[in-house]
Amino acid sequence: MKKTVIALTVLAPFALAHAQSNVTLYGLVDAAITVGKSGGPEGHVNRIDSGVGPGSRFGFRGTEDLGGGLSAVFTAESGFDSGTGASQQGGLLFGRQLFVGINSTQGWSVSLGRQLSPSNTAMVTADAMAQTHWGSTSNSGLGTLQSPGAATVQGAGCQGATTRINNSVQGVWSGGGFTGRLLVGAGDENAQRSGRVVNPSVTYESGPLTLTASYLRIRQCAQDIVATATPAWQKETVLGGVYNFGPAALFAGYYNFNPSEDNKVVGPATFVNHKSFWLGTRIPVSTVGTVKAQVTQFRQEMSGGDARGTAIGVAYLHSLSKRTTVYVSTAHIKNNAKASFGLIGATSSQPAGGLGADPSVLSLGMTHTF
């Protein structure tokens, strides 16, 4: 929906851009009533959640026709908590995305800024939940494991870890059913070269079949090592596929994050490898409803014994209109004695109450897009 006047009023720096381009205000608001339990002694918790479904956001997109099949583009997207109005993504103004680039009608694009990684795109493609609603792969990695120390440090090169990449350049090319992506991120932009990222991916689509693969290397982040250390490389792999049978689509995937043991003390509770496997489905119900279901197993290798957890999530989405959807979403995870895996929607979370605790959660929510 075109909101040129609002866009210029709310975000004055884009006023000049509007004189030469087409600017669109967009976004969505997600809110839910949630009943959850951690599996610990505190029992049930009742709350209002933002981001059980898609994370609440508003943003601006702009395009300008440069001629010759080229166009200049920008996106500035801010995430917020619909229950409190607080900024998410560590309090960044445009923490979800902020980039500028060139698109071509020949099937390629180049963009610079803070942007979603090819690994993130691959995970969303292969996840029946699309990394929204309880029981998705949102707690498999992609920012939840790589750099806890940088999560709330505004301006940190690793804020967002391998989900959203700061100081990055990304090229995309599409043709013949293939889409290739290559992202390079400068991370903290320091002499140590901490947080640097290299992330290629490829996706193939042909009729009902989609296959995707991503491989990412990231140096240890500045907040996770001593100042004099040389950051070691860490690896992340995503493999996935989707097949649409018509009445239902089948999703399957594999995720691996292999951290470096360099520059840190490895104890019994320190994981040295993380793997996730999942199988899911998405089933249309009439013309206005969709059922999503997924089972995911998480594994972490540790010197003190491997942690394992198995999550089952189910969601039903019902469209009231083109812009408004209501949903019910529930999930449960079974952890072994070494595990404390929690449940994550898009941005909401239900943590485990300790090692061996089994969290559960149920939400009734609404999403409105604009």
- Over residues 130-181, the pLDDT tens digits come to 999 999 998 887 777 877 777 777 778 788 888 999 999 999 999 999 999 9
> What pTM value is reported for the model?
0.90
Query: Residue 85: CB partners within 8 Å, gap ≥ 6?
Result: none
* Collapsed DSSP state (helix, strand, coil) of residue 27: strand
Closest CA to 46 of 56, 37, 58: 37
273-277 long-range Cβ contacts below 8 angstroms, 24+ apart: 273/300, 273/301, 274/140, 274/141, 274/145, 274/298, 274/299, 274/300, 274/301, 275/299, 275/300, 276/137, 276/140, 276/141, 277/253
Token pair recorded at residue 25: 């205000």
Rounded CA separation 40/335 (Å): 12
pLDDT on residue 134 = 97
Residues of the chain with pLDDT under 70: 1-20
CATH of residue 218's domain is 2.40.160.10
Tally of domains in the chain: 1
- Over residues 302-342, the pLDDT tens digits come to 988 899 999 999 999 999 999 999 999 999 999 999 999 99
Structural domain of 163: 4-369
User: DSSP letter at 9?
Assistant: H
User: DSSP letter at 80?
Assistant: B
156 near 181, Cβ under 8 Å? no
294 near 279, Cβ under 8 Å? yes
Rounded CA separation 339/300 (Å): 8
pLDDT on residue 80 = 97
